[in-house]
Chains A and B, each alone.
Chain A
Amino acid sequence: QQQVKQSPQSLIVQKGGISIINCAYENTAFDYFPWYQQFPGKGPALLIAIRPDVSEKKEGRFTISFNKSAKQFSLHIMDSQPGDSATYFCAARRGTSYGKLTFGQGTILTVHP
Chain B
Amino acid sequence: NAGVTQTPKFRVLKTGQSMTLLCAQDMNHEYMYWYRQDPGMGLRLIHYSVGEGTTAKGEVPDGYNVSRLKKQNFLLGLESAAPSQTSVYFCASKQGLYNEQFFGPGTRLTVL
Binding site for B on A (CB under 8 A): 4, 6, 9, 32, 34, 36, 41-46, 49, 89, 95, 98-106
Contacts and interface: CB of A to CB of B under 8 A. Distances in A.
B58 A100 contact: yes
A44 B104 CA distance: 8
Contacts, number: 57
Nearest to A98: B50
Given A41-B105, A43-B4, A46-B100, A98 B48 contact: yes
A89 B43 contact: yes
Given A6-B42, A46-B100, A98-B97, 16 more contacts: A41-B106, A42-B106, A43-B4, A43-B92, A43-B104, A89-B43, A99-B94, A99-B98, A100-B45, A100-B48, A101-B45, A101-B101, A102-B59, A104-B42, A105-B40, A105-B41
Interface residues of B, number: 27
The 4 closest A-B pairs by CB, nearest first: A43-B103, A103-B42, A103-B43, A46-B100
Given A32-B98, A101-B101, A106 B42 contact: yes
B100 A44 contact: no
A49 B41 CA distance: 21
Contacts of B48: 98, 100
B94 to A, nearest CB: 6
B40 A99 contact: no
A43 B103 CA distance: 5
Contacts of A99: 31, 94, 97-99, 101
